[in-house]
Structure 1
Amino acid sequence: MFLSFLSALLIGSLLGFIFQRSRFCLTGGFRDMYISRNNRMFYALLIAISVQSIGVIALIQTGYIGSPYKDFSLFSTIIGSVLFGISIVLASGCATGTWYHAGEGLISSWIALLMYMISAAMMRYGPLNGFQKSMAQYGRINDNLAASLNISAWWLVALLVVITLFLVYKSLSKPSLKLATLPPRYSGLRHWLFEKRHHPFFAAVLIGLLAFAAWWVNAMQGKTAGLGITGPSANIINFLTTGDTKKINWGVFLVLGILLGSYLAAKGSHEFRWRLPDLKTLANSVIGGLLMGVGASLAGGCTIGNGLTATAAMSSKGWISLFFIMVGTWLMSHFMYVRPNKQA
């Protein structure tokens, strides 16, 4: 058990470190797709999915892990994903983003994170659980995308890899702007770890490998699971309010590791500092965090659980959720950023 939790803490810490140092933020990436037509972070996400998918499908096909596919509610997934997309713009970060931004000292992220954990716990264990279950009854469909299409999952992996490689090549072929930078303060490994800003495509490869490692480590314990944020976040609140130690599982140490890794990265790069939000940001963090927990619970996952992990397993729910999360992000970005500028 100790080694299991240690593996979760290690994977989470590495993820948090990479997220912080590369500024790997899917909320900002999806927002930029709509506002500035900048798709680079989305392409990075596709890289992470592709890298993970090759390993995960191999584990499934060889029988090393059991089938991860379960029927799901199309209705609940769409509604929850759109709501989640709206909420992450309000909260200025998705579920994972609030964890790693909290590690940088952002008070607004701590507030959004707490609201997200509370509402997720209410949906999973509390007074909103009945609402979640009733929503999940409508429009249930098969989660196994390859089986639904009657083809091998490897064809879907091949298609994803080809599309990703084409988009990455197209992106890297464009001339990049060379921004002025300050002379480095450090040298060697310290410069590479705490000062150099790594390209999101490089970070995406590392994230994909760590996401695959999560599947592999869980498989060694007889579990079919990868990265997940919402369930563990709700479990922390459940444990704190009931004392149920069974809720302290692998996923809890994963999310705590993300917080720790981000803090170490921010501290080492002198980017950690406590920052108080203004009243508007405070209100958005509270509302966004609460809606985030509700949306992620209805959708059965967040940008990591659905958008990164389920998509790699070629889950119908994962790809549908990812699309509608982006739709929700674009809708909220329009009303928060684009429309006010047009009226100004």
Structure 2
Amino acid sequence: MEAVSTSSSQKIVFAAALSGLALVTYGAWAVAGPKMAGAALIGGLAGLSLYHASFGFTAAWRHIVTERRGTGLRAQFVLILLTAAVSFPLIAWGAEIGWPTGAFVFPFGVAGVVGAFMFGLGMQLGGGCGSGTLFTAGGGSTRMVVTLVAFILGSVVATAHLHLWNRLPALPAYSLVQDLGPHWAFLVTAAVLGLLALATVVIEKRAHGRLVPARRTESLLAGPWSPMAGALMLAVVGILTFLVVGRPWGITSAFALWGAKAFHAIGVPVTDWPYWSGQVAAIEGSVLRDATSVMDFGIIFGAMAAAALAGKFAPLWSLSRRDVLTAIVGGLLMGYGARLAFGCNIGAYLGGIVSGSMHGWLWALFAFAGSLTGTRLRLKLGMG
């Protein structure tokens, strides 16, 4: 049997996390049925996996620049490839076998370029992407709670302007799955990911002479997990999301909804904004009817449980002025950018590529440019 922390405080946190996840699951079932309850549990698995594997897109994108280490990026490529192996056939043939599956295939233009760049910059300042913000906040990081609040605010503010951004020029939506079929689409995706992985190997070997061994999985319950174990479990999360929710995994649309609900509650007429004009029921109804929100709640409680199992749930209440300011600026940039560019690393990058959409690749390109700028700014600010 694997050893876990026996600290009474960690046991209380673990019990609270399980109770929270159970309440969300029960509430989702009561409000929207078993599929929504399943979404809550999938979110819980995501939170556990993200925390134990420390699976952050932000750090991996930074480490290839500052340390010439590519382990995190290669794990991301494995996650994408494993998910695409199932998602491409589901998207192409799901309706024929009674399992209709949606995809994230969107046009990409000026708004996408600006939004992706903003997001990449913001995630380096804020200290995490969409999923990273949720799992680290759930794991006890008070700074990331500040980032999350700013993320929500930036998201809802962006919805006030999105109809204007959408008037700007954009490339049409393009799907590899629709154009080439699932088999060829997968081969093309695998080839590109393989070349990118090879590039990270070359960069790492030139800098260090060898590939540094990745962290090993020490305990399934208490963690930590290896990056590849995290990639495998998150691929399971992504595939289950396709099967249960019927579309790719997303994170940040929920933040906009939470912000809109808060604005609506204090009298801001968000339902008059074009973005929300057809979503009045979502704003006025239960948040547990929104699958993305339910999964996000699951991520928070799953990460909280994982932190307790690891014996590491210990919020730090003393934050420096720099910590607070960079968290706020980073969160605002990510929130606004995510709405302009169809999501975060999960919804736009992962969700786009595993849908076979060209916008996923373009998002990654411009978000990486923003991340590079943010990484340099972190160094100037003494953030490492």
Tell me which interval the TM-score lies in, with the shorter structure as reference length: 0.7 to 0.9
Which residue of structure 2 lines up, in the alignment, with residue 201 of structure 1? Answer: 228
Provide Cα deviations, 1:39-98, integer angstroms capped at 9, x if missing partner: 211111111111111111111211433563655241111110001000011101111111
1:91 touches 1:286 (CA, 8 Å); kept in 2?
Answer: yes
CA distance in 2, matches of 1:169, 1:199: 21
Is 1:327 matched up with 2:369?
A: yes
CA distance in 2, matches of 1:92, 1:152: 38
Which residue of structure 2 lines up, in the alignment, with residue 142 of structure 1? Answer: 172
DSSP 3-state at the match of 2:248: coil
Q: How far did 1:147 drift?
A: 7.2
Q: How far did 1:238 drift?
A: 2.7
Match for residue 244 of structure 1 among 284, 299, 302: 284
2:135 touches 2:300 (CA, 8 Å); kept in 1?
Answer: yes
CA distance in 2, matches of 1:144, 1:286: 35
Aligned length: 319
1:55-66 paired onto structure 2 within 5 Å: 55-64=86-95, 65=100
Which residue of structure 1 lines up, in the alignment, with residue 80 of structure 2? Answer: 49
DSSP 3-state at the match of 1:31: helix
2:235 partner amino acid: G
CA distance in 2, matches of 1:85, 1:155: 30
2:45 touches 2:299 (CA, 8 Å); kept in 1?
Answer: yes
Is 1:271 matched up with 2:312?
A: yes
2:76 touches 2:231 (CA, 8 Å); kept in 1?
Answer: yes
Is 1:286 matched up with 2:314?
A: no
CA distance in 2, matches of 1:103, 1:168: 34
CA distance in 1, matches of 2:177, 2:192: 21
Q: How far did 1:169 drift?
A: 12
Is 1:211 matched up with 2:238?
A: yes
1:26 touches 1:41 (CA, 8 Å); kept in 2?
Answer: yes
Change (3 A) 1:132 1:202: same
Provide Cα deviations, 1:179-225, integer angstroms capped at 9, x if missing partner: 9x9xx8xxxxxx43104x22111211211121111111123xxxxx2
Q: How far did 1:264 drift?
A: 0.1
Provide Cα deviations, 1:20-43, integer angstroms capped at 9, x if missing partner: 011001100101111111121111
Q: How far did 1:310 drift?
A: 1.2
Which residue of structure 1 lines up, in the alignment, with residue 49 of structure 2? Answer: 18
Change (3 A) 1:69 1:98: closer
CA distance in 2, matches of 1:192, 1:67: 32
1:89-128 paired onto structure 2 within 5 Å: 89-124=124-159
DSSP 3-state at the match of 1:192: coil
Q: How far did 1:140 drift?
A: 2.4
DSSP 3-state at the match of 2:220: helix
TM-score, normalising length: structure 1: 0.85
CA distance in 1, matches of 2:143, 2:365: 27
Provide Cα deviations, 1:240-270, integer angstroms capped at 9, x if missing partner: 4446115541111100000000000001111
CA distance in 2, matches of 1:3, 1:305: 23
DSSP 3-state at the match of 2:245: helix
1:309-320 paired onto structure 2 within 5 Å: 309-320=351-362
CA distance in 1, matches of 2:35, 2:256: 20
Which residue of structure 2 lines up, in the alignment, with residue 187 of structure 1? Answer: none
Q: How far did 1:145 drift?
A: 3.6
Is 1:30 matched up with 2:70?
A: no
The percentage of aligned residue pairs carrying the same residue is: 19
Change (3 A) 1:92 1:170: closer
2:300 partner amino acid: L
Change (3 A) 1:105 1:152: same
1:322 partner amino acid: A
CA distance in 2, matches of 1:232, 1:162: 33
RMSD: 2.6
Is 1:255 matched up with 2:290?
A: no
For structure 1, the 5+ residue unaligned runs are: 185-190, 220-224
2:175 touches 2:355 (CA, 8 Å); kept in 1?
Answer: no
1:71 touches 1:140 (CA, 8 Å); kept in 2?
Answer: no
1:72 touches 1:317 (CA, 8 Å); kept in 2?
Answer: yes
DSSP 3-state at the match of 1:158: helix
2:237 partner amino acid: L
TM-score, normalising length: structure 2: 0.76
CA distance in 2, matches of 1:202, 1:330: 27
Is 1:77 matched up with 2:108?
A: no
